[in-house]
Amino acid sequence: MRKFILIVFLLCQFFSFGQKPKFDLVQWVNPMIGTHKMGHTYPGATAPFGMVQLSPDTDTIPYAVNGKYNKDVYKYCAGYQYDDPTIVGFSHTHFSGTGHSDLGDFLLMPTTGKLQLNPGTETQPEKGYRSKFLHANEKAEPAYYSVLLDDHNIKAELTATNRVGMHQYTFPKSDEAHIILDLMHGIYNYEDKNVWTFFRVENDTLVTGFRQTNGWARTRTVYFAMSFSKPIESYGNKDYGKAQVYRGFWRKFDQSKNFPEMAGEQLRAYFNFKTEEGEKIKVKFALSPVSTEGALANMRTEIPHWDFDRVKQESQAQWNQELSKVRAVLPTKDDYINFYTALYHTFLGPTTYMDVTGQYRGLDQNNHQANGFTNYTTFSLWDTYRALHPWFNVVQPKRNADMINSMLAHYDQSVHHMLPVWSHHANENWCMIGYHSVSVIADAIMKGTYTGDANRALDACVATARQGYYDGLQYYMQLGYVPEDKNSSSVSKTLEYAYDDWCIAQVAKKLNRQDVYQEFSQRAQNWKNVYDKSIGYMRPKMSDGTFKKEFDVLSTHNQGFIEGNAWNYSLYVPQDPAALIQSMGGNKKFVPHLDSLFTMHLPDEFFADTEDITREGIIGNYVHGNEPAHHAAYLYNWTNQPWKTQERVRMILKKQYQSTPDGLGGNDDCGQMSAWYLFSSLGFYPVAPGSEQYALGSPAVKEATINLENGKTFTVEAKNQSDKNVFVQKVELNSKPLTQPFLNHSDLAKGGKLTFYMSSKPRK
């Protein structure tokens, strides 16, 4: 008997049901960071890399009205804006930190009183189902969000497992309690975005259905299964779409009330209850990329009970587990919040995109079985190849390998025979430029974290890089650059292709694929074709070989660059900074030039109207709030003044990351901004993913231990750390001095200790 009790006790410990975690890192995460202004993060509940992102939406601004773009929609990429006074409801899918959007599927909203099926407006919330709320009554934690909905006197609590969102609504006494399911709602919605929606009331506690949209993803379907803890008293729906021509045959029923199957473009449904004071109605809401059957299986597998607190505790225990991959000692409480919130933000995606059975929807719109890997989606690769995937190679190599497997599955299903560019939910949305999947793949292969068939992966990279009809690539292959008169943003494309090509060459070399190595080493030099030595900047070249005449190195509009100017983009040769610096006149010219990036004064309106660049993310002419120059501060390491990297990095960390809702200087971009923070805080950064080299900066931690998946630990210590001591006097790896400001991944992977000796004075 005693033995039995002991076993139960140990099991409880092991599964940490209700157990206080040894390290409560969850406490440091503030999901509100980035929800104000342009961070585009969401405050709701999600599990690490979870399929469900259950989060409040504070408004429903359409992407377009009558086919015209609605600029204000940009604020609502994640559905939530901190300064909004109302909450429309809680939807189940959100991107974290993107600069364009989609999703917002399946909004639920609990209400009391007279049934209202329209969402109402911010200024007149009482005319719809939405509700006013106060931040004082709001709480956001990893895998937990709660808020008091003032207009309905309902406390709403949310938690989530990987594929299932769980709602707990505490109602007042009411004979008119409702839960609204709005199938019209969505993020970046517009009048024709819903292609089809469908739902069935399977019984008095279970509803299933799907939503199919034509949005950023052109052909996207999400399936759901929703279960109530209490039987529905009655239910109904309203079809806000055009009268359906064939509806006649259904006329024998009143389909709007208590009729269990409905389909159409614009549907809102409601479910009525009677509640006692303080009565909790819980809802489990499961998603699937494949079928309602899949959603139901996900629900039954992941939450086979009705214990909300248990789900919350278990999901938070999972978060603690993930967050404990880095145990940091930091100077201030705010630093803890910034650090662990950044870590949290890097673990939000790419998101799981398969059922518990391994079934997922492929790019070919067929269902596939993921054999031997977890299928992920939401690859914002133009952003995340830079630091997020390299970060995963440090703290999540297994998941990163599966992300690569997911990219290769995408490749196998791609009619273009291409790896993803920007993909989500079984779609390629072609957003931004380059083919940075190859960077992610090369980085993992070069660092030894990709355990699959590297030759197969290389073949996919090569096929992608040779797809002529993709975005100027035919010209690039013919001329050695993308000509601006044939394809816009031509310099950005040329530079990024050249870097990606270098990545391919590295892998080819490692795998002894000489032909490929030759071809892509050659292509990697193509950055030189758009460098105009006469002015010292990258510059758009025309198909006749001449440089574009009218040219403004500061302007971000139609100068051959995307989301950046020539000034920033001219620094982009991550594969060979030394050659770039050489071209630009060597240390003597390059260092003051780079200095001026950070120190020059630009008028406030300068970057206005450039998507994804906002005032908050700018330091001088350096745009930290967007990606193209994320490596720039580290370029001093290739000059004779690496101490400037140390100074700049610490300055950026301070200026661009705050522990407040408006604490992010730009879109978090699916974790890229946060990954920059984490690397930089630890004192090193992957300037060129695809090499195993990190450039050293200046750590902001006092000490941090990375718990590697191979069981080893790698510790960074900053001796004599302080706000003023941003300069590095000396660095030791396992007590041996490093003579160059670089660290190899293989040394990190072996485990060990990197010791920085900090000082307030640069070591010149």
Residues that bind a copy of itself (CB under 8 A): 63-64, 67, 190, 192-193, 195-196, 198, 200-202, 208, 210, 212, 214-216, 218-219, 242-246, 249-250, 252-253, 258-261, 263-264, 291-293, 364-367, 415-416, 429-431, 469-472, 487
Nearer to a copy of itself, 1 or 245 (CB): 245
Nearer to a copy of itself, 56 or 472 (CB): 472
Whether 619 and 655 have beta carbons less than 8 Å apart is answered as: yes
Residue with tokens 């919330």: 125
Nearer to a copy of itself, 64 or 542 (CB): 64
Burial degree of 248 (CB within 10 A; 0-12, 13-18, 19+): exposed
Instruction: State the nearest-atom distance from the C-beta of 215 to a copy of itself, in Å.
Output: 6
| Amino acid identity for residue 756 in this structure | F
Nearer to a copy of itself, 37 or 425 (CB): 425
Whether 181 and 270 have beta carbons less than 8 Å apart is answered as: yes
Instruction: State the nearest-atom distance from the C-beta of 416 to a copy of itself, in Å.
Output: 7
Nearer to a copy of itself, 340 or 353 (CB): 353
Helix (H, G, I), strand (E, B) or coil at 703: strand
Spatial CA neighbour of 198 closest among 187, 219, 212? 212
Spatial CA neighbour of 438 closest among 421, 416, 453? 421
> Strand 138-141 relative to strand 693-696: parallel, antiparallel, unpaired?
unpaired
Instruction: State the nearest-atom distance from the C-beta of 260 to a copy of itself, in Å.
Output: 5
- Cα angle at 222 between 80 and 352, to 5 degrees? 75
User: How many secondary structure helices (H) and strands (E) does the chain include?
Assistant: 18, 40
What is the Cα–Cα distance from 462 to 459, expressed in whole angstroms? 5
Nearer to a copy of itself, 49 or 190 (CB): 190
DSSP line for 193-227? TEEEEEEEEEETTEEEEEEEE-SSSSSEEEEEEEE
Residue with tokens 């032909």: 515
* Enclosing H/E stretch for 705: strand 703-707
Nearer to a copy of itself, 202 or 662 (CB): 202
What is the Cα–Cα distance from 37 to 59, expressed in whole angstroms? 14
Spatial CA neighbour of 434 closest among 486, 386, 375? 386
Instruction: State the nearest-atom distance from the C-beta of 286 to a copy of itself, in Å.
Output: 14
Instruction: State the nearest-atom distance from the C-beta of 213 to a copy of itself, in Å.
Output: 10
Q: Which residues lie below 8 Å from residue 759, measured CB to CB, with a gap of 6+?
A: 720, 725, 727, 728, 729
Instruction: State the nearest-atom distance from the C-beta of 627 to a copy of itself, in Å.
Output: 18
Nearer to a copy of itself, 487 or 614 (CB): 487
Residue with tokens 């809680």: 90
Handedness of CA 398, 401, 407, 410 (dihedral sign): negative
Rg (CA), the chain: 26
Instruction: State the nearest-atom distance from the C-beta of 209 to a copy of itself, in Å.
Output: 9
Instruction: State the nearest-atom distance from the C-beta of 428 to a copy of itself, in Å.
Output: 8
What is the Cα–Cα distance from 702 to 715, expressed in whole angstroms? 11
Nearer to a copy of itself, 136 or 245 (CB): 245
Helix, strand, coil shares, percent, the chain, to 5: 30, 25, 45
Spatial CA neighbour of 606 closest among 655, 569, 557? 557
Instruction: State the nearest-atom distance from the C-beta of 388 to a copy of itself, in Å.
Output: 21
Nearer to a copy of itself, 111 or 429 (CB): 429
Instruction: State the nearest-atom distance from the C-beta of 32 to a copy of itself, in Å.
Output: 30
Whether 45 and 679 have beta carbons less than 8 Å apart is answered as: no
Spatial CA neighbour of 451 closest among 405, 503, 489, 496? 405
What is the Cα–Cα distance from 291 to 355, expressed in whole angstroms? 9
Helix (H, G, I), strand (E, B) or coil at 383: helix
Instruction: State the nearest-atom distance from the C-beta of 564 to a copy of itself, in Å.
Output: 18
Instruction: State the nearest-atom distance from the C-beta of 299 to a copy of itself, in Å.
Output: 15
> Within a 13 Å sphere around the CA of 292, how many CA atoms are in the beta-carbon half?
16
Instruction: State the nearest-atom distance from the C-beta of 505 to a copy of itself, in Å.
Output: 25
Spatial CA neighbour of 374 closest among 392, 395, 353, 394? 353
Nearer to a copy of itself, 14 or 246 (CB): 246
Instruction: State the nearest-atom distance from the C-beta of 60 to a copy of itself, in Å.
Output: 16
Please state the φ and ψ torsions of residue 264, each to the nearest 5 degrees. Answer: 170, 180
Nearer to a copy of itself, 80 or 190 (CB): 190
Strand partners, 367: 361
Distance of CA 131 to the CA centre of its chain: 28
Q: Which residues lie below 8 Å from residue 476, measured CB to CB, with a gap of 6+?
A: 482, 493, 494, 497, 526
Residue with tokens 């005693």: 2
Nearer to a copy of itself, 7 or 65 (CB): 65
Residue with tokens 């009729």: 259
Nearer to a copy of itself, 59 or 428 (CB): 428
What is the Cα–Cα distance from 709 to 451, expressed in whole angstroms? 14
Nearer to a copy of itself, 477 or 579 (CB): 477
Helix (H, G, I), strand (E, B) or coil at 738: coil
Instruction: State the nearest-atom distance from the C-beta of 631 to a copy of itself, in Å.
Output: 25
Nearer to a copy of itself, 294 or 689 (CB): 294
Nearer to a copy of itself, 367 or 451 (CB): 367
Q: For residue 26, give both structure tokens.
A: 């969850």
Nearer to a copy of itself, 135 or 417 (CB): 417
> Strand 713-719 relative to strand 752-759: parallel, antiparallel, unpaired?
parallel
- What Cα–Cα distance (Å) separates residue 356 from each residue in 287, 294, 493? 11, 8, 39
Q: How many CB atoms lie within 10 A of CB 600?
A: 13
Instruction: State the nearest-atom distance from the C-beta of 164 to a copy of itself, in Å.
Output: 18
